[in-house]
Amino acid sequence: MIYGYARVSTDGQSVDPQVKQLRAAGATHVFGETASGAKRHRRELAKAIKALGDAWADTTTPHGRLMLTVLGGLAEFERAKTPPFPTLLESSEMRG
């Protein structure tokens, strides 16, 4: 089974496009919610983590440490490839 998690921050947004992409990528069960990323408790995220099983949620196990390492690497990659905000702003100002 392949799990997915979709989240948007505000009520004016919809998880539907994310859910559609997750399903297209093969997710068979998708958890979705509207919740600020700053919120500590996100009900659907907790359900998704629980569905993965204890080994993936427990960072003291080899599987848990691997997952934490992979997710950290992906986050670092995303930060590195995204230009800083002022660069994006300057770019849009140059285009008019």
Task: Decide if pLDDT at 22 tops 80.
Answer: yes
Range 36-43 average pLDDT:
80
Q: How confident is the model at residue 91 (pLDDT cuts 50, 70, 90)?
A: low
Mean pLDDT of the chain: 82
The question of whether 9 is a catalytic residue gets the answer: yes
Tokens (6 digits) for 21: 């992409």
> Tell me, what's the pLDDT at 21?
95
pLDDT at position 16: 94
